[in-house]
Chain A
């Protein structure tokens, strides 16, 4: 009996410690609807949309729904979720998004053809969270818009209908379509030397937000007829320091031991009473 209990304690402790060690650093952020931005000293294997390095980067599922804009058929959208991965170096942000879309629409060569599209929206002023629909006059947004036709635009908006293209774009994109899935990589300097551009924070105690939208061209989705996300916190940061993991492990083991001791105590008490 005692041997069995000791074994149980050992197994539970091992599970707790193991889980703490294996748990990726961004999981906490994900539960807060955050997009973790992992730090890497060099992005050699991340500067391509199909770079091997992306396999190691945590991927967050982002739910999407109709943006509810005041345009015809605004609620007729088809894409319900996408995935996002983000990495930064000391100077540059790498953001890869992907979503399933069985129809690859790249042409706008005739009146009824619409290209697929994707957009990343950031507050122009990092510590604000503007209205989700294109910001507002007081709280404008930057939008990085990628079209399936291959074009990328860097946009500035201060409310619905005000989208204006920056003359110089500081965002580069690369895309691929395979197995019914788009992958688009956006890269940009964290702090471009241009007016009205969002500075992506580079320290864990700084905050900003990000939102996403995608369009399915086959469904004639355009403008406000889009699948959009809510604002998500951009969870900047290096991996949590080692002592944090140790503390979590100790706490876990303590809880297990306390539980077992309590059970044992109750059993003994019950035995005396019978």
Chain B
């Protein structure tokens, strides 16, 4: 935990120097999955990782990936002292590889187009894309990109009886020591976000590494680069930096303006990925006229982001109105900047 000059408290884990963090603006996400593919081609394209999506984008409301992950438990009790038990997802809930009609086309002379076999799957990542909820003309949905939250109070770390998971001292990235891991999977069931995955070929657990080689300057061209999911995002919805960088947009959006909120804060793992909650046009009446009703029910957003989402939405609303009136808004500037040196502040604590 560190305290800023302004007297605000910035909560980071006791045993880390700094804490990497990310703010994702859900109003910009178009569900294109470019982040998902950037991550997959970098880290999970083989070797027992085929089913893994360290970064995924799911439609909300929806069952997500793995299916119904929010119902599988994990995290901490109300006091934050005791872990609550979680369940392991079934392999089918992650989605299994599909069988295609290769045999028929290649060897049996079929002139059918290449297609999945009947009953090839009844679930897969992004299966319920764009389904959402609500009735026409007031149906609604939004996209939720998810990575490991590199939590301040990670229940996966606590779950491991071998201390194979740990928070990196220099930046709080949560990693699995592959030499220590024996594949017990307590971390998989212990993470309430289900962002630790079991590699059945290696018999160890694996997870998002916040592209640490890239932020250490071991990425393309030997430069410090933000994680691939952030840099490859077409609408550039992610800000990457350190929560305790008081001059950076993440600290300001999270701690100062409180417009970036945590997903499922009630799990009490204290995630370091924050979300700008989604806005949607108001509902339409049967005659097509706009009403005052929220399209995305506020209760649903509270269910996802906790009660803090209300103040966040109201603050953003006020800041938008400021801009509409021609006034300056630091919040809206931070959320709309195209200057990558503001979006990605990863060298602020480097020694000169």
User: Which B residue sits closest to A70, measured CB to CB?
Assistant: B161
Contacts of B183 in A (CB 8 A): 108
A111:B188 contact, CB within 8 angstroms: yes
Query: Which residue in B91, B94, B161 is a CB contact (below 8 Å) of A71?
Result: B161
A109 in the interface, Cβ–Cβ < 8 Å?
A: yes
User: Which A residue sits closest to B201, measured CB to CB?
Assistant: A109
A223 in the interface, Cβ–Cβ < 8 Å?
A: yes
User: Which A residue sits closest to B83, measured CB to CB?
Assistant: A72
Contacts of A223 in B (CB 8 A): 161, 182, 184, 186
Using an 8 Å CB-CB cutoff, how does the interface string of A3-31 with B read, 1 for contact, 0 for none? 00000000000000000000000000000
A112:B88 contact, CB within 8 angstroms: yes
User: Which B residue sits closest to A69, measured CB to CB?
Assistant: B161
Contacts of B189 in A (CB 8 A): 72
User: Which B residue sits closest to A165, measured CB to CB?
Assistant: B182
Bound CA span A111–B198, Å: 6
User: In the complex, what's the smallest C-beta–C-beta distance from B304 to chain A, in angstroms?
Assistant: 25
A-B pairs, top 3 by smallest CB distance, nearest first, are A110-B91, A223-B184, A111-B198
A160 in the interface, Cβ–Cβ < 8 Å?
A: yes
Using an 8 Å CB-CB cutoff, how does the interface string of B175-193 with A read, 1 for contact, 0 for none? 0000000111110110000
Dominant secondary structure of chain B at its interface with chain A: loop
Contacts of B200 in A (CB 8 A): 108-111, 113
* A-B contacts, 8 listed (Cβ < 8 Å): A72-B186, A108-B183, A111-B90, A111-B197, A112-B88, A112-B91, A220-B88, A224-B161
Q: Which residues of A come within 8 Å of B, CB atoms? A: 69-73, 108-113, 160-163, 220, 222-224
B306 in the interface, Cβ–Cβ < 8 Å?
A: no
Of residues 146 through 183 on chain B, the ones whose CB sits less than 8 Å from some CB of chain A are 161-163, 182-183
Contacts of A70 in B (CB 8 A): 161
B298 in the interface, Cβ–Cβ < 8 Å?
A: no
Using an 8 Å CB-CB cutoff, how does the interface string of B196-230 with A read, 1 for contact, 0 for none? 01101001000000000000000000000000000
User: In the complex, what's the smallest C-beta–C-beta distance from B124 to chain A, in angstroms?
Assistant: 15
Bound CA span A110–B88, Å: 11
Q: Which residues of B come within 8 Å of A, CB atoms? A: 85, 88-91, 94, 161-163, 182-186, 188-189, 197-198, 200, 203
A161:B182 contact, CB within 8 angstroms: no
User: In the complex, what's the smallest C-beta–C-beta distance from A222 to chain B, in angstroms?
Assistant: 5
User: In the complex, what's the smallest C-beta–C-beta distance from A162 to chain B, in angstroms?
Assistant: 8
Bound CA span A205–B261, Å: 69
A163:B203 contact, CB within 8 angstroms: no
User: Which A residue sits closest to B159, measured CB to CB?
Assistant: A72
Give the most central of A71, A110, A162, A220: most B CB within 10 Å: A110
Bound CA span A163–B88, Å: 24
Contacts of A108 in B (CB 8 A): 183, 200, 203
Bound CA span A213–B212, Å: 39
Bound CA span A73–B159, Å: 13
User: Which B residue sits closest to A71, measured CB to CB?
Assistant: B161
Give the most central of A69, A73, A108, A162: most B CB within 10 Å: A108
User: In the complex, what's the smallest C-beta–C-beta distance from A216 to chain B, in angstroms?
Assistant: 15
User: Which A residue sits closest to B179, measured CB to CB?
Assistant: A164
Q: Given contact pairs A108-B203, A110-B198, A111-B94, enumerate 14 new A-B contacts (beta carbons under 8 Å).
A: A72-B85, A108-B200, A110-B200, A111-B88, A111-B188, A112-B88, A112-B89, A112-B91, A161-B162, A161-B163, A222-B184, A223-B184, A223-B186, A224-B161
Bound CA span A220–B87, Å: 11
Contacts of A71 in B (CB 8 A): 161, 186
User: Which B residue sits closest to A155, measured CB to CB?
Assistant: B182
B90:A112 contact, CB within 8 angstroms: yes
B184:A161 contact, CB within 8 angstroms: no
User: Which A residue sits closest to B66, measured CB to CB?
Assistant: A111
Contacts of A224 in B (CB 8 A): 161
Bound CA span A113–B198, Å: 11
Bound CA span A133–B189, Å: 24
User: Which B residue sits closest to A114, measured CB to CB?
Assistant: B185
